[in-house]
């Protein structure tokens, strides 16, 4: 039998959330126990079901409960334009601008050789398969403005031109600060960046 109390386990478990340290985790735990046990039970049930049922879209790698996400399954989306992002949260951020009607591909990371993250680890073979179909006319690279993000962007540009030299490869433009992450930008800034994207050659 464990010598660690359930309360301690609860607090330690809450610390897995981003930005939550010991004090924040303690406040959350006591709040749930003091005044919102029903909410805590609902959260527990939804978390458990989500971890069991939510996976990645077979085509774009976004989060979904089905084989294909709702965007990939939508026949009204523009299949000729593909926006490549680093994470599912970036898809949500761009979709919130209501300024993009194409499809997405989610890398689930960025190239980082020092960390052992190469093309295979971020789904480049699957992206290559998408490009090889010949449907895509423009690739919008929406990776972060970091050294790793820029390296990833250039790799994608080279990959796209390998399959079709006529593919237009563009990069998000105005409004995305150096080192900025898409998930933290406001909708108007993202919309402007999409509208004023730059071509990568």
> What pTM was computed for the model?
0.79
Whole-angstrom Cα distance, residue 124 to residue 41?
Answer: 40
With vertex at residue 140, the alpha carbon angle to CA 65 and CA 142, rounded to the nearest 5 degrees, is: 70
Whole-angstrom Cα distance, residue 132 to residue 108?
Answer: 21
User: One fold for both 6-53 and 63-199?
Assistant: no
166 CB-near residues (< 8 Å, 6+ apart): 137
CATH number of 6-53: 1.10.8.420
Tell me the pLDDT tens digit for each residue of 102-154. 999 999 999 998 899 999 999 999 999 999 999 999 999 999 878 898 899 99
Fold (CATH) for 63-199: Dna Topoisomerase Vi A Subunit; Chain: A, domain 2 (3.40.1360)
* 3-state secondary structure at position 6: helix
**Residue 82 near residue 103, CB atoms below 8 Å:** yes
């Amino acid at each position: 039998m464990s010598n660690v109390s359930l309360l301690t386990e609860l607090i330690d478990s809450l610390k897995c959330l981003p930005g939550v340290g010991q004090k924040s985790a303690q406040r959350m735990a006591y709040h749930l126990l003091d005044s919102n046990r029903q909410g805590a039970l609902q959260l527990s049930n939804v978390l458990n079901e989500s971890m069991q049922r939510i996976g990645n879209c077979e085509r774009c790698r976004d989060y979904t409960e089905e084989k294909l996400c709702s965007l990939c399954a939508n026949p009204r989306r523009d299949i000729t334009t593909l926006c490549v992002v680093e994470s599912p949260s970036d898809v949500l951020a761009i979709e919130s601008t209501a300024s993009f009607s194409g499809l997405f591909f989610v890398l689930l990371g960025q190239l980082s050789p020092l960390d052992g993250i190469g093309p295979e680890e971020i789904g480049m073979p699957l992206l290559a398969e998408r490009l090889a179909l010949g449907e895509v006319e423009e690739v919008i690279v929406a990776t972060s403005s970091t050294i790793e993000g820029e390296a990833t962007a250039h790799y994608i540009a080279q990959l796209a031109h390998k399959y079709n030299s006529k593919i237009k490869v563009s990069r998000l433009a105005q409004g995305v600060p150096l080192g900025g992450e898409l998930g933290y930008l406001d909708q108007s800034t993202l919309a402007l960046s999409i509208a004023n994207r730059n071509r990568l050659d």
